[in-house]
Structure 1
């Protein structure tokens, strides 16, 4: 039987219908294939007649959705309508982030581009540090610009820089309450936390929770791990198992935890919501291991909060699968309310 090919115009109509009717969430783990599957399911209600080339339709949907999905970061509650709008805007040559004409923006791209550090200082007052949230925004823009131009090489450079800044700030002499004043370093770490959350958090967890400090090369190896390959499910067991008798030294972990928090706290307060959620997931793991042997209420509290930002947060899930409640239970049994409360924190 000769199969009919669905043209792009009809597929875009399906995307619009899905956006208007489905109220689907966009998860941090979703890629264009996941979204294409949902659109097909919404349109066909699970029935796929033999006279249509559904594989071609699926591939075409993926190619239409991919550029729009690049503008969605982290968990996006009820995000189908917005993603469908992004698809329309890109088709009309409009940048969803800025509303500017994409072709004109490309023509007007300056021959040079100052770094985010320079742009942050350009309108700052020396009596007052550049605002961290503004520096993070500028660094985020630089990262996206660099990745568009340099691809995987640029991604690796940014991740390696984040590993360097993390180690440098952790080794920086400080009193327990001293804030980190290097906003540029914090911004680099924040960007890595946004675009490589599992690899970045695994690097930090290993640096804080393991008995021996990793080498600089070791940190870069961890942060360079592809997101899907980060062994989050076994990370707690692996790190705890490295300590003598699988018993972490509480004093050592407390000191490292405090050093880490002086870095993570300003990032959490100033970075976009996805990063805030990622940090809650990481804090859940840090607190769970630090208070190992007790009930895991502190770790679970952070993990539950992380899941309100992103229900697919792997660090939060790993903590909940390991940290017991007061009655000794683990897992998601007590988190039914999150399904009703998700995405409402910010």
Structure 2
């Protein structure tokens, strides 16, 4: 199992400095790169200060100038906000500017608040149909001249300029929790991005089964990669859990606002809706959050990660952007690099000779 990190620039108050948010992201990106993380993912969002990323290609191009090895991924682009020609060209240009390090992650979109401003108020659930038309069109534009006559987009013969540096194209990842989208993504040869959100560990097995069924139903396709993401905080002492849980609870109340349009947003800053207004109050129980999310000491984190590994997860992604203080984000990466990653790297080294011996019989 490899490891990734999801990062964004964040501001939760007008008093927070945009310059500092930028520097915090850069510091964490460099730390992840030097520490051996496989991928840095960043999202697309608009009009909200708690996730500042109106064009993730721009952010990733900037980060590529300050990192050396880490792959740079969009997790995720929002399909209904793009046209195929523009998306194909911008992604391919980003692939060149990052030296062929782009991973292309896309989703239907989530925040209804954004859809009201970016997609004419359409329900965010309808974004999946846009994604299913958009991704094949982008891939054909990357390949050469292509004419499109679809439901959402129509254009005459055109191609992507430039073509991607990676051939035939950057790895494609689709974000989903839905069985139908698992099946569609695997069927087109895409990798899977998923998350158990704040559900118990049993949800990891549910998602793992969806992945295995999609793979089994498409024997014509090579097995894709499978990533899962959880909010993550690693700390030195077991008693340090309260800070991580408190910030997760507060961030969840901002999330509820944007998903359901049940609060106000002033000048880009969403209010945290009252606890009484949240949909699933059980997911805000401190003990459940502490156990379900990737919160813990290094030993606790290793125990939790082994559950993901057992479900066939190829890449676990640390979700660090939930208003966790910068010092705790940096400490989380440092502890993960120094005390968690070596455990899995050591197991991989130990398993490789055994696998080779079996293959040689």
- Report TM bin, short chain: under 0.3
Normalised by the length of structure 2, the TM-score is: 0.25
Q: Report the structure number with the largest CA radius of gyration.
A: 1
Higher normalized helix content (fraction of residues) = 1
Higher RCO structure (Cα 8 Å, ≥6 apart): 2
Higher normalized strand content (fraction of residues) = 2
